[in-house]
A and B are shown apart, each in its own frame.
Chain A
């Protein structure tokens, strides 16, 4: 009986195996490297319905974060302000600016402004703003220098590793509670400063959870 398969077929299984191995390896490596929040989220800066500039309001005009994000120190959410908050100034300042039409309409009609969400923890993560800002963790640690952003973008990865980094080394991020909303605050360096921050951790009994129950319920 003649050979049904030519000679080169003998090598096909090996070629397929090697090929598959390469493909699987590259997919695995690719996914682990690129499908992480560091790649998928950082830099996300969607266009907002109203071109609100944090650089202007927070940076130049030095309006405190809590003027608009009123409940950040009381609630798990840092609320996005209602149109009434905008109108408290803009009923007088630039009251006919076409850029603010949407805000005025919203204030009058009761329809909310559809701001586009930038920072989002997954549904199974119960992050609480209040406990962080009241215990010396500044907005800037997670959100970056918002006060310099014309358009807000996702500055940090906000992945679980990101959270744990700080929960393991709170002394590197903690600051005096008076400076929490001061995004320009310069962190002093040197052993003296480090001792001070360690002092904060010790005196305030800061022991951030690393167990699941701390964030997942």
Chain B
């Protein structure tokens, strides 16, 4: 509420600064990653003092133990349709530059608490993104702008309105000659209408739009060809073969939810019979993305080589599709310069040509069902080539005509530099921070007589503006927008603006002196202009069917495409090298382009690939790291850490080299000086496999200077390196290592599975022949079955009857009434006893692309606190759900960090073991099983011994080291003496149905027990005086399941064989992680499949992860020691491996789904 005070204690970070002496004690117990149980700056003496005082306080407190008087304040006039205690869901949409994401917002007594995707919008199917999930926290950001300001004085809303009216009069006189706008792009048709009015009222005004992450490259390229702005919307569901050219269509880009969802549909495999129908993805990319990690064939090339690569592909495809003429000839010519293509990879060009040739042949063989996509940062010529290829391949792509883009920031700057601009409006965004460095926006902005900034929170631009108008959050304003394919969607307020803020529509309407100035009327009028009748119905549906963009069916002429291809955009100038690096500018996974820099959820959500929180870093390839190490004489990789070499022989005794030095679990990164275009930035480097050798990735959007308390001092700002000519990538970067180091908060220390069967993978082809491969892996395939003689019982029976099998553990009785319930005792009563539903969850690793939306969704649903970088460094992050990311390399070489890797993702949360190891060690029965098979946590009983976390094989339990919710930031280390300050705003976001945990208790995933109970209660309420008490399948969706755009997570009743989750678990790919421990987890995984092409030069007969497993365990001593069967002969090894398994007898054959 109060204005932020930058000189005050820091928010969630650098507690080291506050503790007087950061004396790190080497405590022996290590139940958490290194550092977790250290008690800094508190010696025993102080501790005793503190405790003595708190006992004293407790004594004092006793005197006042009378129950406090509380009031119930009912509505004075009960509004209709509001039932206290029952959440209401409203449709809305989250505005973006090119698409509004349709959402449903959960509100409790008028407070929006959680956003979900709107399932009515079929392409997303109810999925949503991390940003959608975390946007609700922005609404309650204590550092958001609460009022408009001019200089240091507050401006009342009425004064702003008067001022706008004045401006209208003043600029009517000069027809808007002195009026310049720089706005964020928007899809809102209402805004477009107002802009048209504006242009009419002020014909000489300048309207420009700018956003730092502009994804209109392909549209602009298409405009040159179609003569109108055209957007391509590929339908990956229909695609059997996809080639991505430096394009990360599965995450990050606009509409990626739809792409990920439809692509996942083409990858879904329900049984070994449809393994052959799985789609295949080829990806050539310069940085490691979700798309590359999903790809069946991945080729590392630098961005500058993508043009020639595209030309090479074009030659092959056009030839095979029989397209001749000038385009084909031109492609031949352009690809002629491909001689040393890929030389940065040190593969020979023949190998690469074979790659392209076979890839093209595969695409051509699936003409009609093949798609080529290109990354937006690539030159227009590449997009033109891709357009030609998709035409030749008859790709399942819908082309739609979109509104033309407005002028860019350059025009605004030109106008400002003329020096006669009276009023400059900056509507949203943050150009002072993120405009291309060479354009010098700051100087240009200062040339305007008066600059006005409409913004949500104070930022670099608001500091430089004369008048700052506070903007409303989208959850508090009326408006509209369009989805990526053009459907009209509403923006509906969930709550009255919390502060005196304005929305953009009102501001523009007042400026043009429109008849209606309130956003509701404006949006409603727009809806009517779209031909809509029933506005309330529109609001309840959340979209207007049939309002999509018009389809473009123009037949493309290859010669027209040819005119759009410029050879200098294709041909490689000079190749990147260690001295002349290529820098790729991308968004960062925390704050996108900088806009979420004050959002704690986003900051703490680990990056999918690097697993870094609260920071960005210069990402470099292992090759470059090695060369820099040698050149600058500074060590990047740690010393090799050999485990007991005597006990273990050879490679089995050593762990693979880490990518960075992890001292006490903290990533100690070398700081480098990075120079691009003559400007230098100092930032830490992080080695990431899979990058093109001499391409470095610079995630933009952190290192904000003027920002709220969360974002202060977080990360590094790479915008100063970005010029208007090199928005996507720059070609002349150089790096110099320094002696300095910097601590990065990395949540995953080691990158390798070390050959263990954690994420199980196989090729689709292999799966078709060996449907049981997943159960042939891991220790459990060599051990007697966990269930002993009951192993062949069905999942439903196993879940209900808790067969003891070979376990020493006494099992809870899930399907029996408690012995103290008289009414259900006796044989007759027992026969009528209703089945107790047993909950379980299945994760299909095949369609998890690592987007991390589940992590934030869980945080939002379950009131999971943010702990800050300092605590993440100590391993105390609180996420109930995490995504583990593993790399695996073709060759197991413990002394090398591999350059080419396959990536595997695995979402891990509490597995709800039936034989839960955490339960048997709890001295106070705080974690116990319930009858539904849930491993429950009774927070009130927990005394914080942390034995359970120690005994959890999955490391999913989280301990509240501090009181994150009630204490003031920076006061948590003082324990009970820390100042209380439960901030009103963030408190409003909390889910009222989940306990807010306090210091000293353990917590973990509950399978969203509040949702389970709500569904059960709802079912019983409906049942009334009847026995229909079983919750219907699909009525419960866990938060992680609901957010997942690819439906990788299924939840339900496993005692019902017909439930969706039972069907998933019945798959032969189903396996339990660490199943050999016989903990019987209720969460199981479906093994991942890869679908490589045999003809390709980089064909792998097994996924690297599987190969490593085989290398290390599959044919080792446990198999009678025929070591010679190490995979060197492709498929023949499969036979070897399989035969050796067969020797083990029948117990492997009966591994059914568990």
Residues of chain A at the chain B interface (Cβ within 8 Å): 35, 40-41, 44, 46, 70-71, 73-77, 79-85, 106-107, 109-117, 120, 123-124, 126, 128, 130-131, 134-136, 168-171, 176-177, 198, 200-205, 207, 209-214, 216-217
B1017 at the interface (CB under 8 A from A): yes
Binary interface encoding of chain B residues 1028-1039 relative to chain A, with 1 for a CB under 8 A from any of its CBs, else 0: 110000000000
Say yes or no: B83 contacts A71, CB within 8 Å.
Answer: yes
Nearest CB to that of B928 among chain A residues?
A212
Say yes or no: A75 contacts B1026, CB within 8 Å.
Answer: no
CA distance A179 to B67 in the complex (A): 34
Nearest CB to that of A115 among chain B residues?
B72
> What A residues does B675 contact at CB under 8 A?
none
Residues of chain B at the chain A interface (Cβ within 8 Å): 65, 67, 69-78, 83-86, 817-818, 820-824, 829, 832-834, 836, 928-932, 934, 936-940, 993-995, 1006, 1009-1010, 1012-1013, 1017, 1020-1021, 1023-1029
Nearest CB to that of B941 among chain A residues?
A212
> What B residues does A71 contact at CB under 8 A?
83-86
User: Given the known A-B contacts A71-B84, A116-B69, A170-B823, are A216 and B77 also in contact in the complex, defined by CB atoms under 8 Å?
Assistant: no
Say yes or no: B74 contacts A216, CB within 8 Å.
Answer: no
User: Given the known A-B contacts A112-B76, A204-B1027, are A216 and B940 also in contact in the complex, defined by CB atoms under 8 Å?
Assistant: yes
Say yes or no: B85 contacts A217, CB within 8 Å.
Answer: no
CA distance A82 to B83 in the complex (A): 12
Say yes or no: B829 contacts A202, CB within 8 Å.
Answer: yes
Query: A185 to chain B: closest CB distance in Å?
Result: 15
Closest 10 CB pairs of A and B: A211-B930, A77-B85, A82-B78, A75-B85, A112-B73, A205-B834, A117-B70, A82-B75, A205-B1027, A114-B71
User: Given the known A-B contacts A207-B817, A213-B1013, are A80 and B76 also in contact in the complex, defined by CB atoms under 8 Å?
Assistant: no
CA distance A170 to B823 in the complex (A): 8
Say yes or no: A171 contacts B823, CB within 8 Å.
Answer: yes
> What B residues does A116 contact at CB under 8 A?
69-72
Say yes or no: A168 contacts B818, CB within 8 Å.
Answer: yes
- Of the residues A40, A107, A201, contact of B67 by C-beta under 8 Å: A40
- Of the residues A77, A177, A207, contact of B84 by C-beta under 8 Å: A77
Say yes or no: A217 contacts B994, CB within 8 Å.
Answer: yes
Nearest CB to that of B862 among chain A residues?
A217
Nearest CB to that of B1028 among chain A residues?
A205
- Of the residues A83, A134, A217, contact of B1020 by C-beta under 8 Å: A134
> What B residues does A73 contact at CB under 8 A?
1021
Say yes or no: A123 contacts B995, CB within 8 Å.
Answer: yes
Say yes or no: B822 contacts A169, CB within 8 Å.
Answer: yes
- Of the residues A85, A136, A169, A212, contact of B1025 by C-beta under 8 Å: A136
Say yes or no: B932 contacts A213, CB within 8 Å.
Answer: yes
Query: B929 to chain A: closest CB distance in Å?
Result: 8
User: Given the known A-B contacts A71-B83, A77-B84, are A112 and B1027 also in contact in the complex, defined by CB atoms under 8 Å?
Assistant: no
Say yes or no: A207 contacts B824, CB within 8 Å.
Answer: yes
CA distance A80 to B71 in the complex (A): 11
Say yes or no: B76 contacts A83, CB within 8 Å.
Answer: yes
Say yes or no: A216 contacts B938, CB within 8 Å.
Answer: yes
Say yes or no: B78 contacts A85, CB within 8 Å.
Answer: yes
Query: B63 to chain A: closest CB distance in Å?
Result: 14
Query: A60 to chain B: closest CB distance in Å?
Result: 23
User: Given the known A-B contacts A117-B70, A216-B940, are A130 and B76 also in contact in the complex, defined by CB atoms under 8 Å?
Assistant: no
Given contacts A115-B72, A123-B995, A211-B930, 16 further A-B contacts (CB under 8 A): A46-B69, A76-B85, A82-B74, A85-B78, A112-B73, A113-B73, A113-B76, A135-B1024, A168-B820, A177-B1025, A198-B823, A202-B829, A205-B834, A205-B1023, A207-B821, A217-B1009
> What A residues does B932 contact at CB under 8 A?
211, 213
> What A residues does B73 contact at CB under 8 A?
112-115
Say yes or no: A203 contacts B1027, CB within 8 Å.
Answer: yes
> What A residues does B930 contact at CB under 8 A?
209, 211-214
Say yes or no: B823 contacts A212, CB within 8 Å.
Answer: no
> What A residues does B938 contact at CB under 8 A?
212, 216
CA distance A71 to B1021 in the complex (A): 12
Say yes or no: A112 contacts B1024, CB within 8 Å.
Answer: no
CA distance A214 to B1014 in the complex (A): 10
CA distance A136 to B1027 in the complex (A): 13
Nearest CB to that of B996 among chain A residues?
A123
Query: A5 to chain B: closest CB distance in Å?
Result: 29
Nearest CB to that of A135 among chain B residues?
B1020
Say yes or no: B823 contacts A201, CB within 8 Å.
Answer: yes
User: Given the known A-B contacts A74-B83, A110-B77, A113-B76, are A213 and B936 also in contact in the complex, defined by CB atoms under 8 Å?
Assistant: yes
User: Given the known A-B contacts A40-B67, A135-B1024, are A216 and B824 also in contact in the complex, defined by CB atoms under 8 Å?
Assistant: no
Say yes or no: A126 contacts B993, CB within 8 Å.
Answer: yes
> What B residues does A204 contact at CB under 8 A?
1023, 1025-1027, 1029
> What B residues does A110 contact at CB under 8 A?
76-77
> What B residues does A203 contact at CB under 8 A?
1026-1027
Say yes or no: B832 contacts A202, CB within 8 Å.
Answer: yes
Query: A177 to chain B: closest CB distance in Å?
Result: 5
> What A residues does B834 contact at CB under 8 A?
205, 207
> What A residues does B86 contact at CB under 8 A?
71, 74-76
Nearest CB to that of A107 among chain B residues?
B76
Query: B1081 to chain A: closest CB distance in Å?
Result: 18
Query: A94 to chain B: closest CB distance in Å?
Result: 19
> What B residues does A131 contact at CB under 8 A?
1017, 1020-1021
